[in-house]
Amino acid sequence: MASTQAQKVASSADIDLEDSAYYENRELNYFKFNLRVLSQASNPKHPLLERLMFLLIFSSNLDEFFEIRISGLKKQLDFGRQRPGPDGLYPEQVLKEIHLQVSAALTEQYRILNEDLLPNLASQNIHFIPRHEWNEEHKAWTRDYFDSEIQPVVSPLGLDPAHPFPRLVNKSLNFILSLDGKDAFGRESGLAIVPAPRSLPRLIKVPSEIAPEGDNFIFLSSIIHAYVDELFPGMTVTECHQFRVTRNSDLEMSNVEVEDYAMALQGQLHSRRFGAATKLEVSIGCPEELTDFLLERFNLTSDELFQLDGPVNLQRLMALYGMIDRSDLRYPQFSPGTPRLLEEDSYIFAAVDKEDQLLLHPFQSFIPIIDWVRQAAKDPTVLSIKQTLYRTNESSELVEALAEAARNGKEVTVVIELRARFDEEENINFASTLQEAGAVVVYGVMGYKTHAKMLLFVRRIGNSLKRYAHLGTGNYHRKNSLLYTDYSLLTSDEVVCADVHKVFQQITGMGKKIHPNLVIHAPFNLRKSLLKMINAERDAALAGKKARIVAKMNAITDPDIIKALYGASMAGVKIDLIIRGICCLRPGMAGVSENIRVISVIGRFLEHSRVYYFQNSDPQVYCSSADWMERNLNNRIEVCFPILKKKHISRVKAELEMYLNDRGQSWELNSTGEYRSLENTSPADESLEDVQMLLLKQLF
């Protein structure tokens, strides 16, 4: 067998792995992920309100896609950087294809909303009352709401030389109007802009005395539209249409001094709201002369215009989820489980002293990690606490516990990543809270995002010091721990804890490259180590030994890693990749990737854990904060930590196999770059159905 594999590799020697045919485009593949999210909105296996949430998550994802990735492509064009990616496509080609696909997807999104979700919500006595269905009571109530809530705060803007086109905030709801007549000053203003007040809710519940049957709602946009002529007395409103502009929101920070970094970032946060436009959405039926006017003002092309058959700010419908008390329309509630040792001994240090604890959230609770910090804050044997924070809760119990520890005289050092996208302002506030309590706050290393999830305690036990660590694949975020799948390791292994200590020292201090014993870290040796482990599987296969790789993560885009995986596949290594989002690798190509399988799991919980399994001789399992992307391997501080206990290795391997056997919520990527749903593709067998629900049953 070894000679057969060697012959295969020899016959593949003339294959050029630089060929663009072997790579998916990053942006286009990401959009395929978002289409998989959208598909869940029409999947009857999900409760009705959850289906609506999938529809709205699609909108949220699409906004961020245009704010970050599309703005990046547009910048490349502006700067004349016309260079193709590994997939062979130029930025201009990618933009054109994305605009076509987004247009089709938005049409489908609003079809699902109007023809599926809204009628089904109505059948459940949940109604959105359009203007043409208002009765006299509705009209009286909406008129009163307009007079008392909207008119006092709205600022209508007629457009003329003294009133130039306003700077409109990113993703804000606005109206463009055509007017006839003259105002009190004798001015003839053909156009006006009415920004919807940002302080008001976009979805308003109609009082039960007005609409006693069921739950009834009216959009703020409907009320403004109904009475907008009152903002222009004596003039006639001939056209009124909603619109919304999405802007570049990617912050650009120069290498300012660390002591000025938070202040400089705060300045950037304000300007983010007014970045260059990337997308214009208008209500369907808006006349061409008005859309052309808006496109010109926002410096956009007709390809960047999207006409929508419904509210242009659909994401604001997320408020509905908390406004309706209908458990029958939601996923069943669950309480995460807790491992036996942590239940028996609520003092976390004692439980970890007995043995390492491996948790899989949300199926197992994140509360022990929060409790660990709380207990450490009060424990007189704890001398110091070090922690990284990338994203955390708005009102974070962890931040309060760390602040309490500092106030109690412990040495508390917190590495806060100020550039965690869209959480920058919150993290600046957390930094201030911790500094005021006496903690040492570090903003990481200039030029590198600190994405590692690490927590380290040092205790005095008798005459010696002992270290404990928490390492995770996800953020220290209690709310997200109920929504995202992530692994947590609680350990007192001296070698692992010493490695974590070294990584902290490297981040907070200065010095030469460190050399941890077991923990692998980026940007120093993670890429090299991954390539070494992949190539070891390749060499094992060539030698006729068993070889297998199973890796689960959010995305894989790094060309070097992909080439190594192709090489391992050509040598006969069986490779299974569980990639929720972007996958630039193409599986199933004859002679190159026929031994690689790629699936994506889209379900109730967001798949977020990063886990790597290498079978070669002695199976190795690693968990990590890093995806296999250039940014993670080159430009971020990441940690990849080993799972050392045999029973934990077996458990993780079994859980990975459950994902690979899923037929309830998986999609399989083929050699042409298309995803096929695997739902209902196998005989009825509970072991093949919905891995997330199976894990809930097992770990609950």
Q: What is the torsion angle, in degrees rounded to the nearest 10, for the CA atoms of residue 669, residue 673, residue 674 and residue 678? A: 0
Mean pLDDT calculated for residue range 169-179: 96
The domain total for the chain is 3
> Would residue 77 count as lying in a domain?
no
- The predicted-structure confidence for 360-392, as pLDDT tens digits, reads as follows 999 999 999 999 999 999 999 999 999 999 888
pTM of the model: 0.93
463/559 same-domain check: no
> Would residue 107 count as lying in a domain?
no
> What's the mean pLDDT when you consider all of the chain?
91
217/241 same-domain check: yes
Q: Quote the percentage of the chain above a pLDDT of 70.
A: 91
- The predicted-structure confidence for 286-305, as pLDDT tens digits, reads as follows 999 999 999 999 999 999 99
Whole-angstrom distance, CA of residue 82 vs CA of residue 672:
25
> Would residue 383 count as lying in a domain?
yes
Give residue 494's domain range: 340-518
Give the confidence band of 341 by pLDDT, cuts at 50, 70, 90: confident
Residue 172 has pLDDT above 70, yes or no: yes
Q: For residue 483, what are the contacts with CB-CB under 8 A and spacing of at least 6?
A: 362, 605, 606
- The one catalytic residue in 241, 451, 477, 608 is 451
Structure tokens at 146: 């307009």
Residue type, 228: V
Residue 251 has pLDDT above 90, yes or no: no
> Would residue 577 count as lying in a domain?
yes
Mean pLDDT calculated for residue range 205-225: 93
What pLDDT sits at residue 395? Answer: 63
Higher-pLDDT residue of 160 and 202 is: 202
Of 447, 437, 446, 382, which is closest to residue 414 (Cα–Cα)? 437
312/437 same-domain check: no
Domain boundary among 254, 285, 317: 317
Residue 14 has pLDDT above 80, yes or no: no
Please state whether the peptide bond connecting residue 362 to the residue before it is cis, i.e. omega within 30 degrees of 0.
Answer: yes
Residue 47 has pLDDT above 80, yes or no: yes
What pLDDT sits at residue 298? Answer: 96
Mean pLDDT calculated for residue range 7-11: 53
512/533 same-domain check: no
Mean pLDDT calculated for residue range 575-598: 98
564/634 same-domain check: yes
- The predicted-structure confidence for 528-537, as pLDDT tens digits, reads as follows 999 999 999 9
Residue 653 sits in a domain of what CATH number?
3.30.870.10
Q: For residue 28, what are the contacts with CB-CB under 8 A and spacing of at least 6?
A: 89, 94, 97, 98, 101
> Would residue 353 count as lying in a domain?
yes
Structure tokens at 198: 């940002």
> Would residue 61 count as lying in a domain?
no
161/289 same-domain check: yes
470/510 same-domain check: yes
- The predicted-structure confidence for 398-432, as pLDDT tens digits, reads as follows 999 999 999 999 999 999 887 656 556 777 778 88
Whole-angstrom distance, CA of residue 165 vs CA of residue 143:
29
What pLDDT sits at residue 22? Answer: 96
What pLDDT sits at residue 258? Answer: 43
Residue 204 sits in a domain of what CATH number?
3.30.1840.10
Whole-angstrom distance, CA of residue 98 vs CA of residue 315:
20
499/542 same-domain check: no
**Residue length, the chain?**
700
- The predicted-structure confidence for 148-158, as pLDDT tens digits, reads as follows 999 999 999 98
Give the confidence band of 257 by pLDDT, cuts at 50, 70, 90: very low
Pair type for strands 606-607 and 484-491 = parallel
Give the confidence band of 234 by pLDDT, cuts at 50, 70, 90: confident
> Would residue 132 count as lying in a domain?
no
- Note if 163 is an active site residue: no
What does residue 41 show for φ and ψ, rounded to 5 degrees?
-65, -20
